[in-house]
Structures are given as C-alpha cells and as structure tokens.
Structure 1
Amino acid sequence: MSISPFFRHLRSAYQSEMEDLTFDSDGRDVLRQRLADKRKEISFLLQMMELCPEMVAVIFHQGFRFQQPAQMDQLLGLEADELPDWGGLAEGIEMTPWASELAQAVLKAPGGEWFLTVAAALEYMAGKPAAAPAMQDDSEESDDAGANEDADHQEDFDADEDGDERASKEAGADWLVEQGFDRKD
C-alpha cells in the first residue's frame, strides 16, 4: 500500500488531534465527551472542512465500517485533487446512524463530498492495524513476490508512522521551547 504525501500529512495531524481530544489536564479519558461536544458544533465546523479537514474529520471517529478495504488502500495513494466522489466510495462504507446524520449535514455544504472522502480515509488509517498479515492466494502456490511487495508496503507504512511521530514530537518540543519552557532531553 502506498500513501500519498497528502494523506501522510493529514494522518499525522489527525493523530495529533485525536491525542489532544483524548485526555484532560488531569489525565482522565474525556474523548467520548469531547467528540460529542464537537459533533454538536457541526455548523461551525463545516467552515473548516477545506482548510483543516483533520480537525473536522474527528467527529466521524468510529462512525464508519469499511466493507472494501482494498478500495480504501487504493484511495490512500491519491492526492487531494484525485479523490473520487463520495457517492462511489460510500457503497463500500457502512455508517452508524449518528455518522449518517452528520454526513447529511456535511453533504449539503460546498466541498462536502470531498471532505467525507477525506474523513473516511483518515478514519480508515486510524483503525488500520500497524502490522497486517500478508495476503495469500487461494491457490496452492502463493505468490512470493506479491507477499514480499505487501511486506515492503507495510514497512513503508510503519516507517512513515515512525517518521511522522518523531516529527510531531520534535515540533511539540520546539513549540514548548518557544513558549519559554526548557527542552526535555
């Protein structure tokens, strides 16, 4: 699986947004409450869909069930201007009732179809296990080259995640220094 620079960048930003929403200053898990609050602000969030899709996409956290993972894997290799219409993609995605209700509001806004495609891709990446087993053929003979290619793509995916995590931590440390805090070594 190949991930485009567009989705690599958004994946890192989406993960950071989810981390920010998860715990309060006392370390309590408040994700469910914060997501519920964000979902109530849908009319305001619609204004941010194009500029900061990762900040809005979190409202769909755990709202999608992916029926066609191969289609989603292919989607992750596309750039922002190459994304398919939501109508074609939606056939392979089951939505929870609350997510479907939010999606109806999003679809009424300009750029709503593009945004739902992006939100689905981000949620798919967030739920994708870090290490997927190599796919095997149904035939007696397995395609070793294909299995090796799958493993290489998984290594690329893992390396991208490690690099994104490292860059995110460095950016956070730099920001803290700018705010007057000492750098942690």
Structure 2
Amino acid sequence: MKFSRYFQELMLAYKAELDDLRSDFEGKDVMKRRLKEKREQFAFLLPMLQSNPEMLAPAFHDAFLFMNPLAFEALAAKERDKLPLWSSLSKAVKVEPWAEKMVTQVLAEEGGQLFLVTAACLEYLSRSVHVRDSALANTDEDDDSDDSAQDRDDSENGDLDGHYGRHGRDDGDDGDDIDLEEAGADWLAEQGFDRKD
C-alpha cells in the first residue's frame, strides 16, 4: 500500500497515540478506560482538530464500519489538499451509533469534513497494521524472528502472505520458553523507548 507523506507522518503519530492509550506503566491493558475518558473530554479536545488530528482521532477508535476498504487504500495515497469531503464517503464508510454525536460536533467545526476523512483513514490503516501485528504476535517463532519480520513489514508497508509463509507453525517447541520480560523490553524498544539493560 502506498502512503502519501500526509498519512505516513500522521499514521506514525496516531499509532504511537493508540499505543500510549493501550497500556499503563505496569503493562496492563487500560485502553477501554482511556478511550472512555478521551470521549468524555471530546469537546475540550476539539480545538486540536486541525493542528493535531492524531490526538483527537483516537476518540473514533472502533467507530467506523468500512463498507469499501479499497476506497480507503486509495485515500491513504492522497495528500491533505486532495482528500474528498466526508459527505462523499457515505457509501464507503458508516459510523457506529455511539459515535454519531461526536461526528455532528466535528462537522460543526471548521475543517471538520477533512478531519473525519483523516480520522477514518487513520483508523482503517491502524486496523490493517493491528491485524498484521496480531498475526505476528500469535506465531510460535522466537522474538528475534518477530522483530525482523516487523521491521520488514514497517519498511515495505506489509506483505501479509510473506509473513504467514515465514512464520508458519512448527512443532511448538519455540513457544514454550517465552521470556515475558524480554518480550516486553523488545516491544518497548520497537515503540522507541530506551532499553533498560
């Protein structure tokens, strides 16, 4: 998949924001609670709609139903000034009922149409990355193999068939001796944090 510079930069920031929301300092999954808090603060975050869309967009995590995924793959290749209006995407994406009030609030703001197109595209792209990450995390290969596959995935924007081919299930011996602390350190290093050796 080809990314425009606009989405390439925003996707990195959006993914980092979702990762921050996903777990606390103890590694516990707190995403549901943190998303709820972000949605409760939505009106206060609206001023960031144009300057920092990646900060507001996570409020729409899981808010979109993608009826035409190919449309969003095409959008990901467009620069900001070439994006269509939100109203033109009515057949390509639907909004979950719980998010409709937020959509109305956004559309009342200057730049709201562009923001919604951007947020939906970021969410589509993050789901694609999440599917690939989940496929890698559930294999029986060792951590080093997962890291190199992830690096290749990030640099080439994904080749899912290649990953499944490389990470096919074996006799299961590799999965029995996973060092959770080491795996956690590897994951933090991938996110850009310094390794605590």
**Runs of 4+ residues deviating >6 angstroms:** none
1:71 is aligned to: 71
Please give the alpha-carbon distance, in whole angstroms, between the structure 1 residues aligned to 2:41 and 2:16: 20
Offset from partner CA, 1:75-126 (integer Å, 9 cap, x none): 0000111110000013211111111221111111111100000000000001
Offset from partner CA, 1:121-150 (integer Å, 9 cap, x none): 00000111439xxxxxxxxxxxxxxxxxxx
Q: Deviation at 1:43?
A: 1.3
1:136 is aligned to: none
CA 30–167 in structure 1, closer or farther in 2 if over 3 Å, else same: closer
Please give the alpha-carbon distance, in whole angstroms, between the structure 1 residues aligned to 2:76 and 2:100: 22
The one-letter code sitting in structure 2 at the alignment partner of 1:42 is F
TM-score (norm: length of structure 1): 0.72
1:130 lines up with 2:132 in the alignment? yes
Please give the alpha-carbon distance, in whole angstroms, between the structure 2 residues aligned to 1:49 and 1:83: 16
Which structure would you say has the larger RCO, counting Cα contacts within 8 Å and 6 or more residues apart? 1
The one-letter code sitting in structure 1 at the alignment partner of 2:110 is P
TM-score (norm: length of structure 2): 0.68
1:17 is aligned to: 17
Unmatched 5+ stretches in structure 2: 134-153, 160-187
- 1:12, 1:168 within 8 Å by CA — same for their partners in 2? no
Root-mean-square deviation over aligned CA pairs? 2.5
1:51 is aligned to: 51
Which secondary structure does the structure 1 equivalent of 2:157 belong to? helix
2:103 is aligned to: 103
Please give the alpha-carbon distance, in whole angstroms, between the structure 2 residues aligned to 1:48 and 1:94: 24
The one-letter code sitting in structure 1 at the alignment partner of 2:88 is G
Please give the alpha-carbon distance, in whole angstroms, between the structure 1 residues aligned to 2:189 and 2:118: 24
| Corresponding residue pairs, total | 148
Which secondary structure does the structure 2 equivalent of 1:94 belong to? strand
1:34 is aligned to: 34
Which secondary structure does the structure 2 equivalent of 1:2 belong to? coil
The one-letter code sitting in structure 1 at the alignment partner of 2:112 is G
1:85 lines up with 2:97 in the alignment? no
CA 82–167 in structure 1, closer or farther in 2 if over 3 Å, else same: farther
Please give the alpha-carbon distance, in whole angstroms, between the structure 1 residues aligned to 2:73 and 2:11: 14
Q: Deviation at 1:42?
A: 1.4
1:141 is aligned to: none
2:141 is aligned to: none
Please give the alpha-carbon distance, in whole angstroms, between the structure 2 residues aligned to 1:166 and 1:125: 22
CA 27–158 in structure 1, closer or farther in 2 if over 3 Å, else same: same
Unmatched 5+ stretches in structure 1: 132-153, 160-164, 174-182
Which secondary structure does the structure 2 equivalent of 1:158 belong to? coil
